[in-house]
A and B are shown apart, each in its own frame.
Chain A
Amino acid sequence: MTIVGLTGDEAIAYAVKQSKVDIVAAYPITPQTIMVERFSKYVADGEVYTGYVCVESEHSALSACVGASLTGARVFTATASQGLALMHEMLYIASGLRCPIVMGVANRALSAPINIHGDQSDMMGSRDSGWIQIYAENAQEAYDWTIQAFKLAEDRDVQLPVSVNIDGFIISHSMEGVDVLEDEVIGKFLQSRKPLFTMDPEKPITVGALCFTDYYFEFKRQQVEAMQNARGVLDKVCKDYKGISGRNYGAIDTFGMEDADAAIICLGSTAGTAKEVARKFRAQGKKVGAIKLWLYRPFPSKELIEAAKHAKALAVFDKAISFGAPYGALCTDVVSALHELEERPRIFNVIYGLGGRDIQPSEIELVFNRALEIAQTGVVKESTVFLGVRE
């Protein structure tokens, strides 16, 4: 066991280094910068054989990645916020052309007003782009998921791009002890990519050809299939990874859901605070729990139903707004997933942390208390709560 001090960004860069990536094309943007900064140092110091493509924008970064991925290379990029927004059209091309690119995203608020701090508006705005989305709670998870992401993306039955998301600054810039694996161990776990097609001048192929009313729909249907396949493949990848690391991952992580009356559902770093507060409540004999979704796309409906079906009240945390929608994106998905249950928990939405506003344990306590009250009365007075806002 080797523990090293790494920030979330550095943990991802270290994992990418060990994953023997062929090409990295990325453009720096706060709070993702350290990912590319650290990785370009590995390149400059000759610690990796990776080709590093300097580009003039995120649009070009992902374009270069798509091209590289189509040649059969293992490819990584990273971005955040406005950078991800600038990549937007290429996101669909990467998934549509079935490029298993892995992208580190240090989630950050979107302009305007300009803000560099962490919320999940950037990736939530791209949630229909056909990318698998994983959210890590801390630097350790960021490291572990990055390695697993390559194996998931490149699986024969998946062939889809994967984003590994970490909360800007909270995770990206906080240094933690990270248990890193040996290069050889990862080398065995993650063998070189076996592409289904490659760009070879001897055997020319066409990619990105025109597809109208006659075939487009079928290709989209294939992407749906690949997303569904990703669920099973993820479990297999996590099982293999547990074998080499001893760390247990999956689609969701739960705390106290065996008998919880009230629970919090969230993504990323907030889960740590939620679990800590839940422990405190448990010590007082209050039956609360927490569900953290590691996997957001494909949405782990089955696991969520299994974990949440006995709860009476759920507070779903969204660190992003979907303006004009009934709920935030995560809450909308949770409501949809639980719809098929005959007896459903009462659900309310908590919008929080926009523009990086800190979330305190005391605020989580408020939410747990409200959820416990709803569990008892069965009445949701306010379907959306804006937590920690001045109004």
Chain B
Amino acid sequence: MGAVVLEAGSSLKYKTGDWRAFRPVVDAGKCVNCLLCWIYCPDSAVVRKEKWIEINYDYCKGCGICAHECPKEVIKMVDEQR
């Protein structure tokens, strides 16, 4: 009632990934792990890995900032075709 949320940290349960119209796809082999995408991602949906980055599709809204900022142009925005 009144849209009250009774527990803390519940926003994690809100998977905003389903807002996405385009999904970022990383060509992992060509990623130089500069982490510019990790810095720029407004949703903290870029996950740091040992040699390259991965995308957390549960929360990535598909804004495309990562693809725009990638100096090696190895992130492509692919139509979700929903």
**Minimum CB–CB distance for B8 against chain A, Å:** 5
* Cβ contact within 8 Å between B1 and A206: no
* Cβ contact within 8 Å between B10 and A207: no
Say which one of A208-216, A316-324, A381-389 lies at the interface with B.
A208-216
> Which residues of B have CB within 8 Å of A209?
3, 5
* Cβ contact within 8 Å between B3 and A197: no
Find residues 1-58 in chain B having any chain A CB closer than 8 Å to their own CB: 1-8, 10
* Cβ contact within 8 Å between B4 and A197: yes
Which of these, B1, B3, B6, B8, contacts A208 with CB under 8 Å? B3
* Cβ contact within 8 Å between B2 and A97: yes
* Cβ contact within 8 Å between A206 and B2: no
In the assembled complex, the Cα of A263 lies from the Cα of B24 at a distance in Å of 70
* Cβ contact within 8 Å between A204 and B8: yes
In the assembled complex, the Cα of A17 lies from the Cα of B4 at a distance in Å of 30
> Which residues of A have CB within 8 Å of B1?
98, 159, 196, 222
* Cβ contact within 8 Å between B8 and A215: no
> Which residues of B have CB within 8 Å of A196?
1
* Cβ contact within 8 Å between A205 and B2: no
> Which residues of B have CB within 8 Å of A219?
2-3
Beta-carbon contacts of B51-80 to A below 8 Å, as 1s and 0s?
A: 000000000000000000000000000000
Whether A125 sits at the interface, judged by CB under 8 Å, is: no
> Which residues of A have CB within 8 Å of B10?
206
In the assembled complex, the Cα of A206 lies from the Cα of B13 at a distance in Å of 14
* Cβ contact within 8 Å between A96 and B6: no
**Minimum CB–CB distance for A92 against chain B, Å:** 12
Which of these, A98, A159, A205, A222, contacts B5 with CB under 8 Å? A205
Most chain A CB atoms below 10 A, which of B2, B4, B5: B2
In the assembled complex, the Cα of A159 lies from the Cα of B4 at a distance in Å of 13
**Minimum CB–CB distance for B38 against chain A, Å:** 25
In the assembled complex, the Cα of A219 lies from the Cα of B6 at a distance in Å of 16
**Minimum CB–CB distance for A129 against chain B, Å:** 15
In the assembled complex, the Cα of A206 lies from the Cα of B2 at a distance in Å of 10
* Cβ contact within 8 Å between B2 and A96: yes
In the assembled complex, the Cα of A209 lies from the Cα of B3 at a distance in Å of 7
**Minimum CB–CB distance for A221 against chain B, Å:** 11
Which of these, B3, B5, B6, contacts A97 with CB under 8 Å? B3
Beta-carbon contacts of A127-148 to B below 8 Å, as 1s and 0s?
A: 0000000000000000000000
**Minimum CB–CB distance for B13 against chain A, Å:** 12
* Cβ contact within 8 Å between B3 and A211: yes
Find residues 79-105 in chain A having any chain B CB closer than 8 Å to their own CB: 96-99
> Which residues of A have CB within 8 Å of B5?
205-207, 209
* Cβ contact within 8 Å between A98 and B2: yes
* Cβ contact within 8 Å between B4 and A205: yes
In the assembled complex, the Cα of A219 lies from the Cα of B5 at a distance in Å of 13
Most chain A CB atoms below 10 A, which of B4, B5, B7: B4
* Cβ contact within 8 Å between A205 and B6: yes
In the assembled complex, the Cα of A241 lies from the Cα of B10 at a distance in Å of 43
* Cβ contact within 8 Å between B6 and A207: no
In the assembled complex, the Cα of A205 lies from the Cα of B9 at a distance in Å of 10
> Which residues of A have CB within 8 Å of B2?
96-99, 159, 197, 207, 219
In the assembled complex, the Cα of A291 lies from the Cα of B52 at a distance in Å of 76
In the assembled complex, the Cα of A104 lies from the Cα of B40 at a distance in Å of 50
**Minimum CB–CB distance for B39 against chain A, Å:** 25
> Which residues of A have CB within 8 Å of B8?
204, 206
In the assembled complex, the Cα of A87 lies from the Cα of B1 at a distance in Å of 23
The 5 residue pairs across chains A and B that have the minimum distance between CB atoms? A98-B2, A206-B5, A97-B2, A204-B8, A197-B4
21 A-B contacts (beta carbon < 8 Å): A96-B2, A97-B3, A98-B2, A196-B1, A197-B4, A197-B6, A204-B8, A205-B6, A205-B7, A206-B4, A206-B10, A207-B2, A207-B3, A207-B4, A207-B5, A208-B3, A209-B3, A211-B3, A215-B3, A219-B2, A219-B3
> Residues of B with Cβ closer than 8 Å to A?
1-8, 10
> Residues of A with Cβ closer than 8 Å to B?
96-99, 159, 196-197, 204-209, 211, 215, 219, 222
